[in-house]
Amino acid sequence: MTDDVLLTFNAGSSTLKIGVFERTGHHARNIGRGKIDFDKVPLTLAYTVGDDTYEKALTGDHAENFVAVVSETLDHILGHLPGRLVAASHRIVHGGLQFQGPVFLDDANIERVEGLVPLAPLHQPQALRVIHSVRKLRPDLRQTASFDTAFHSSQADLVRRLAIPRAMHDDGVRRYGFHGLSYKYIASKLKEIDPGAARGKVIACHLGSGASLCAMESGISRDTSMGFSALDGIPMATRPGWLDPGALLYLMRSGLRDPEKIEDFLYHECGLLGVSGISGDTRVLLQDKRAEAAEAIDLFCLRIAGEIGRMCSTLGGLDAVVFTAGIGENQPEIRARVAQRLRWLAVEIDEDANKRNSTSIHAAPSAVKLFVIPTDEEQVIADETVALIA
């Protein structure tokens, strides 16, 4: 094993995912993964290093004693590694207009990331508290940031523009797009799997509890479903996706006036959970026989297919669709339903390949290729860090 080890941190609202990588020259090789689920009591770090699996109870907590959580995590994981920790690398949801690629987190850049909290008030603070905790514990350790919005900075200004006064657009009120680290990985993997398809017009569907689509041409982002915030686009587990602003005005006049309550409503009470009244988890909804569960699934698939249709206009055609993330990688019924709604594009799915979660799931006569490709945001973060260090 190399003497150089780096850790990646992917901080969410309820979990902290950790990647363990060894640096060999200009490459990062994954040698372990960890996860802390903040909804579980007691707080536990579950991780693997090589072929060994560990589970450790943590004395820190998700609130005031979070530095202790990070301290124990570093001690536990690094205790099983002979290498020297050379960097801690972080996924940052929002890079605003300032960040169009990975950066070292010096004082100035941390301050800029903090300044973007209003653009991602639920996501940005989660990453920042990990950054500050690592800095307190290991002040001399290099830290880097990789941004979900950066991949979409290649989009044309017209695509990113909202129909609002120009001054607001110039001040940053525009479509940014998210899940960029996932899409960057998918673009690179598709190039390995099918170089011809990768050079064409591709729509990738990142379908998880948070969900979005990205239209790519030769691996470059041209359009995406999420806009100014991670609330936009297709319905998600508990987020509404596209929502008429008039509906929100109506709700505000009806009593939902507090910004924090509106934010909580939009992020936690809508989407598949709101439509079904049962769950935001598609696995639960697919097993449930009630009409409300079926309607939530149908709406989800309808909106995905509709967004693919819209993006075909941006791309001027379609050569391939890629399904990824938890739902996209593991739920054949969702993929089949989306493909059924795309038959007008001469899409034909191979039912047997789809049920096996094969990499290629299109039938031979299909005019559009269909792929299932597992994503790996941590690998992208590690690769970007190695490139920065080099």
Q: Are residues 44 and 129 in the same domain?
A: yes
Q: Are residues 81 and 208 in the same domain?
A: no
Q: Which helix (H) or strand (E) holds 239?
A: none
Tokens (6 digits) for 142: 């290099």
Strand spans (E) along the chain: 4-11, 15-24, 27-37, 44-49, 52-57, 84-92, 103-104, 142-147, 201-207, 211-217, 220-224, 320-324, 369-372
Q: Are residues 13 and 84 in the same domain?
A: yes
Q: How many CB atoms lie within 10 A of CB 24?
A: 12
pLDDT of residue 212: 97
pLDDT of residue 2: 52
Q: Is residue 381 part of a domain?
A: no
Q: Are residues 122 and 211 in the same domain?
A: no
Closest CA to 176 of 91, 136, 119, 220: 119
Between CA 276 and CA 274 the distance in angstroms is 6
Q: Are residues 126 and 206 in the same domain?
A: no
Can you tell me which residue has the tokens 């099983």?
80
Q: Is residue 88 part of a domain?
A: yes
Q: Is residue 180 part of a domain?
A: no
Per-10-residue mean pLDDT, the chain, length 390 = 83 86 88 87 86 84 80 87 88 94 96 93 91 95 96 96 96 94 97 97 96 97 95 96 95 90 94 97 97 98 98 98 97 98 97 97 97 96 93
Q: Are residues 110 and 209 in the same domain?
A: no
Q: Max Cα separation, the chain?
A: 62
Domain at 9, CATH number: 3.30.420.40
Please name every residue paired with 49 in a beta bridge, in sequence order, or none if there are none.
32, 52
Between CA 206 and CA 221 the distance in angstroms is 14
The DSSP bridge pattern shows strands 27-37 and 84-92 to be: unpaired
Q: Is residue 378 part of a domain?
A: no
Can you tell me which residue has the tokens 């079904």?
276
State the total domains in the chain. Answer: 2
Closest CA to 347 of 375, 327, 319, 323: 319
Which residues carry out catalysis? 148
Q: Are residues 213 and 117 in the same domain?
A: no
- DSSP, res 155: S
Q: Is residue 165 part of a domain?
A: no
Contact 182, 375 (CB under 8 A): yes
Q: Is residue 170 part of a domain?
A: no
Between CA 303 and CA 152 the distance in angstroms is 21
Contact 280, 237 (CB under 8 A): yes
pLDDT of residue 25: 79
Between CA 60 and CA 263 the distance in angstroms is 28
Q: Are residues 12 and 125 in the same domain?
A: yes
Tokens (6 digits) for 344: 């007008």
Q: Which amino acid is at 249?
A: L
Q: Is residue 386 part of a domain?
A: no
pLDDT of residue 62: 67
Contact 21, 6 (CB under 8 A): yes
Q: Are residues 142 and 200 in the same domain?
A: no
Q: Are residues 228 and 311 in the same domain?
A: yes
Q: Is residue 203 part of a domain?
A: yes
Contact 238, 271 (CB under 8 A): yes
Tokens (6 digits) for 161: 């523009």
pLDDT of residue 192: 97
Domain of residue 105, residue span:
4-147
Q: At what angle do helices 124-137 and 107-115 cross, to 10 degrees?
A: 160
- DSSP, res 29: E
